[in-house]
Amino acid sequence: MKETFLVKHAVGGRAFIDTGKEALNYTVTPDGDGWLFTAEVAQGKAIEELLAHKNELNVFIFKEYEDQPTLKTWYYVKQGTVAYDAGKGILTIGAQSSIEYYPHEYSV
């Protein structure tokens, strides 16, 4: 199985993080009624732009299987739960809810 972690601007659709294009270490852990994402991200222009839009983010996890359709999970980011620790290079994002879906079920 191949897994892709994607952080996008909810309004404009721009991808800030896409592990399908650039690998990075990340984790997803349950956090109360939601999830907590942590990612090792170098400080720079990309992280500055992400943080400038931290109240307008969506997170996706795509799970691609060889023997079944791709499963996508769309996570809704909580207000005020995006932070970046520049000293450690760690981005933290909290999500409050999610929707799982199979894209092939919605194709035209």
Residues 29-43: pLDDT tens digits? 999 989 999 999 999
pTM comes to: 0.90
Distance CA(59)–CA(93), nearest Å, equals 9
Cα separation, 79 vs 107, whole angstroms: 31
> Of 54, 59, 61, 41, which Cα lies nearest the Cα of 81?
54
Mind listing the pLDDT tens digit for each residue in 52-93?
999 999 999 999 999 999 999 999 998 879 999 999 999 999
Total domain count, the chain: 1
In a domain, 108, yes or no: no
- Domain span including residue 49: 2-103
CA angle at residue 5 from 3 to 7, to 5 degrees? 160
57 φ/ψ angles, rounded to the nearest 5 degrees: -110, 150
Cα separation, 1 vs 107, in Å, equals 22
